[in-house]
Amino acid sequence: MALGLLIASAKSSYDNAEAEMRTAAARILLLDRVMAHYGPETDHARQLLRELIEKRLSRGWTAETTDEASGQQLGEYQDIETVQGDLRSLSPQDAVQRSLQARALEVSGMLAETHWLLVESGREGLPWAFLTVLVCWLGLLFATFGLQAPPNPTVLSILFVCALSVAGAVFLISDMANPYIGLVRVSDAPLQSAIERLGKP
């Protein structure tokens, strides 16, 4: 029951991360379209946006998990601030362009927030203290079963299969608690799809 609840919690975290990825892709497309409607003055900002996404995809879109790694990759997240700087430097000629500029700045702000949420999500995961207690508790549980059961090949085989199943469940919980790294990770397909549509008139 405890493992079932932990798997459900890890699956919920994974689903949230997947939704964040789709939301980020949608905001990228929305920002590009808003800038396209503004006019050719935003061509440079649109190119910067495309380069930002291509850079992230080339690295596999995995969030940094240490402060050192985050510092090394900080420039990538500052690219969105460069896009915002280009947007702020625009000189709207009418009410429509002023509205589009405000909307683009709003969406780019939400996109920057999503980037930092992804970075912070990479530092989360299953606490090692909790994982250690869980493994020790399961080890004692199986040791108790082993002491009470007669030592024959059938019992040993069943205990081995059960232990293997529990180990797989613990691995799945630990892996899904870090949705941007590991074997079970969030797909970057939404971003791949988004980048194919960027830059279109």
- In the chain, domain spans: 15-124+185-197, 128-174
pLDDT given for residue 178 in this prediction: 76
Q: pTM here?
A: 0.72
> What confidence score (pLDDT) does residue 96 get?
94
Sign of CA dihedral 32, 34, 35, 37: positive
What does the alpha-carbon distance between residue 196 and residue 150 come to, in Å, rounded to a whole number? 63
pLDDT of residue 78: 57
Unique residue bearing structure tokens 């997240």: 77
Kindly state the tokens that stand for 56.
């992230």
Q: pLDDT (tens digit, 9 = 90+) per residue, 88-101?
A: 999 999 999 999 99
CA torsion 136→142→146→152, rounded to 10°?
A: -130
What pLDDT sits at residue 121? 60
CATH class of 15-124+185-197: mainly alpha
Q: What is the pLDDT of residues 28-72, one digit of tens each?
A: 999 999 999 999 999 999 998 888 888 877 765 544 433 444 444
Question: What residues in the chain have per-residue pLDDT under 50?
Answer: 62-77
